[in-house]
Amino acid sequence: MQNLFDQAPCLYFSSADDGTLLEVNDCLCAVLQYHRNELTGKKSEIIFTIATRIFQQTHFFPLLKMQGHAEEIYITLKRKDGEQVPVLINAERKMVGDTAVSMHVGIIVYNRKKFEEELIAAKKEAQNALHENTALIHARQQLQKRSEELDRQISLVNKQNNELNQFSRVVTHDMQEPLRKLSLFSGMLIEGHGEKEQRRLVERIKKVSDQMHSILSGLQQYVWLNDAPLDIERISFNILLSSVVKKLEAEFPGVRLEIKTEIHEDFEGDTEQVQLLFYHLLSNAVRFRKGDEVFISIVLHKVQLNQFKNMEGRYKYVDHTKITITDKGIGFNPAYKTQLFELFKRLHNESGRGVGLAICKKITNNHHGSIAIDSKLNEGTTVTIYLPANVVSAENGFVTETEFKTPEKRGQ
Amino acid sequence: MTATISQRNNVKVFGKGRQPMMFAHGFGCDQNMWRYLTPAFENDYQIILFDYVGAGKSDKSAYNQERYSSLQGYAQDMLDICEELNLRNTIFVGHSVSSMIGLLAAIEQPQYFEKLIMVGPSPCYINYDDYRGGFERKDIEGLLDTMEKNYIGWANFLAPNIMGNKDRPHLGEELTESFCSTDPLIARQFAEATFFSDNRHDLGKTKIPSLILQCSEDIIAPLEVGNYLHKNLPNSILRVMKATGHCPHMSEPEETVSLIKEYLLQAA
């Protein structure tokens, strides 16, 4: 019986879960050009091609383990001389005592393989005909470009709408308030008061005018950023940072700034604008510090993000520089974190002009990036900025003909 | 009404603990592969299982060629789930390519994660210059070919009514649910995204503590790759397992569980 089984025209081998070959039949040995004792006790990898080894680990073994059996699995065995033998396998995994044994029976399928290859080739040809239809590809490219254009336009329209709303609020409220005060105080002056009271009123008028001046110069900076042309270059971050720090130290004497940086990547941008961005962010960290010391950590590294920001279902992952700036200051209630980038939003009274973060947002927008802020009250604030690694291509659209890939060409 | 992320990714949440423990399956399978591991953790953790879009019982209509041609698209699946379930301090367990997908997700949104446990990870499967990933491009082409051939065979199986197997009446059902039977195009794209990926330059970008479970004799992620990963991934611990092959969580679940528990206990 054993003899007949050995000679039966089927390839038989059994293996343990760790891949050790337990039994093989004569037919398998003959086909693969091995002696029995060259195989039993060895790892089954010896008779698998590399592709089959991967497939065995990622599909075949999990299937056997989970279901206990697998049918009509196509694999390629490797002969001793390296030649490949296409085989169709049925397998079952059973417990023999307390060890699991997987039994495999295979038949050689040279002809079926040819037939299948022809089938697959025909199918691919049909697919190719579809994909290589130049008109179709052209149309798809056009569509791609249009979607990108549309995406940028949607961004622009949204942005402009928001700005318009903010400006109307500024004009109707933030500017009217100091004007109302000016009118009130000067009215009181005209009514006539004692010298002391007059001095107090003039001082208040001075203070309100200074505030207005400050608001207007913030607005001026903001408006300048609207159409300032971007001058993109590699940014030497350490130099940029030290000039920002110098400026802050002059502005806030007596405050100790401790900045820890972890720079994994260079990045590019408009030096003047990026410097302004860091100036506003770091000056926030200084102004909303605890005590006299400011601890800031800045981490820069590269991540991939979807370039499409508004179009649903469109994806193109491109390199971005992620900049994380964390301080240990007084923080704020995170409920306000999305409103803070609006013009003249102030959480801390008297704290500033309410224009710093709006300017930061404008600058990241100019670079086709994004900015977000998060905080915990009394623990500190984290600002996260993403800037595209290639600002110019983000600005001009990014798909070229050679870059456009049909599914068949992927990965080759 | 749009479907939730949980529906899209066939998310399963169970367990008696509060800290989330998220398991991410690798290439070729679905969440079922974790069934030997989860019982050991469900008393102490909130277990989260899911299928990537395109795998298992996910919503295949959500598949998007552009998105899933890169591991970043798969990482987005994970981040979507973290956001919808509002996860924090998650223990992430990823098998094979999911280790790198988890790493990408953790680099992008570190606030969701506390620890990363990587089962059979590799940052790059192809040999480049001095780096030995273990494979040449032609090996991967061979794999794609093997996969393609197998889907022809399976296509006929997938409809239960033509099975006609009286001895095993559940066979039809099992096969349609077969956790390896994804759509051929999707499987091919996942294979390409997996085996042609190179995440070596991402390793230094996170300091989240991680455990690397390295199998002995794993042809997909050899010991050399495990050592490389350990050297370049900050705050990582490397444990070389007795288990052989690429699926220790299926072949040696006890050893896998005890190493994970030991790590979580040490770290805590």
A264 → closest Cβ in B64, B146, B204: B204
Residue of chain B minimizing CA distance to A16: B251
**What CA–CA distance (Å, rounded) separates B14 from A164?**
49
Is B46 within the bounds of a domain?
yes
A411 → closest Cβ in B66, B150, B192: B192
Q: Give A314-329 pLDDT, tens digit per residue.
A: 888 889 999 999 999 9
In this complex, do A304 and B157 lie within 8 Å of one another by their Cβ atoms?
Answer: no
In this complex, do A116 and B149 lie within 8 Å of one another by their Cβ atoms?
Answer: yes
Task: Give contacts of A119 with chain B, Cβ < 8 Å.
Answer: 152
Catalytic residue check, B246: yes
Phi-psi region of A192 (alpha: psi -120 to 50; beta: other; left: phi over 0): left
pLDDT score recorded for residue A144: 86
B30, B77, B202, B218: the catalytic one is B218
Mutate to test the interface with A, among B108, B136, B147, B149 (most CBs of A within 10 A): B149
Average of per-residue pLDDT across B127-144: 91
**What CA–CA distance (Å, rounded) separates B56 from B52?**
8
Yes or no: say if A124 and A409 are a contact pair by the CB < 8 Å rule: no
A410 → closest Cβ in B72, B152, B192: B192
Average of per-residue pLDDT across B73-93: 96
In this complex, do B179 and A66 lie within 8 Å of one another by their Cβ atoms?
Answer: yes
Catalytic residue check, B6: no
ipTM for the complex?
A: 0.80
Kindly tell me if the per-residue pLDDT of B187 is higher than 80. Answer: yes
Q: What is the CATH number of the domain that holds B15?
A: 3.40.50.1820
Q: Which CATH number fits domain A230-396: 3.30.565.10, 3.30.70.20, 3.10.20.30, 3.90.1560.10?
A: 3.30.565.10
Is B157 within the bounds of a domain?
no
Which of A143-152, A294-303, A372-381, B78-87 shows the lowest per-residue confidence on average (mean pLDDT)?
A: A143-152
Give the count of domains, chain B.
Answer: 1
Is B147 within the bounds of a domain?
no
In this complex, do B219 and A52 lie within 8 Å of one another by their Cβ atoms?
Answer: no
For chain A, first and last CA: distance in Å? Answer: 51
**What CA–CA distance (Å, rounded) separates B119 from B255?**
12
DSSP string, B234-253: TTEEEEEEEEESS-HHHH-H
Q: Which of A233, A232, A235 is nearest to A243 (CA)?
A: A235
In this complex, do B219 and A55 lie within 8 Å of one another by their Cβ atoms?
Answer: no
In this complex, do B64 and A17 lie within 8 Å of one another by their Cβ atoms?
Answer: no
Q: How far is B149 from chain A (nearest CA, A)?
A: 6
Residue of chain A minimizing CA distance to B107: A303
Average of per-residue pLDDT across A80-91: 93
> What pLDDT band is residue B177 in, cutting at 50, 70 and 90?
very low
pLDDT score recorded for residue A275: 93
In this complex, do B219 and A45 lie within 8 Å of one another by their Cβ atoms?
Answer: yes
Phi-psi region of B56 (alpha: psi -120 to 50; beta: other; left: phi over 0): left
Task: Give contacts of A88 with chain B, Cβ < 8 Å.
Answer: 153
Q: Measure the CA angle with vertex B27, ends B47 and B34; round to 5°.
A: 30
Is B88 within the bounds of a domain?
yes
Catalytic residue check, B251: no
**What CA–CA distance (Å, rounded) separates B88 from A229?**
42
Is B14 within the bounds of a domain?
yes
Q: Give A132-178 pLDDT, tens digit per residue.
A: 776 677 788 888 888 888 888 888 888 788 877 777 777 777 778 88
Q: Give A329-379 pLDDT, tens digit per residue.
A: 988 888 888 888 877 666 655 455 677 888 999 999 889 899 999 998 889
B96, B197, B210, B236: the catalytic one is B96
The domain locations on chain A are 2-127, 230-396
Is B260 within the bounds of a domain?
yes
Is B140 within the bounds of a domain?
no
Exposure letters A343-372 (e unless 16+ CB within 10 A, then b): bbbeeeeeebbbbbbbbbbbbbbbbbbbbe
Q: Give A12-57 pLDDT, tens digit per residue.
A: 999 998 889 999 999 999 999 999 999 999 999 999 999 999 988 8
Task: Give contacts of B72 with chain A, Cβ < 8 Å.
Answer: 304-306, 317
CATH superfamily assigned to domain A2-127: PAS domain (3.30.450.20)
Domain hosting B213: range is 5-124+199-267
Q: Give B236-260 pLDDT, tens digit per residue.
A: 999 999 998 899 998 899 999 999 9
| pTM of this structure | 0.72
Q: Which of B21, B231, B230 is nearest to B121 (CA)?
A: B230
A57 → closest Cβ in B140, B145, B245: B245
Q: What is the 3-state secondary structure (H, E, C) of B89-151?
A: CEEEEEECHHHHHHHHHHHHCHHHEEEEEEECCCCECECECCECCCECHHHHHHHHHHHHHHH
Residue of chain B minimizing CA distance to A67: B174
- Distance, CA of B138 to chain centre: 24
Is B187 within the bounds of a domain?
no
Which of A201-210, B97-106, B201-210 shows the lowest per-residue confidence on average (mean pLDDT)?
A: A201-210
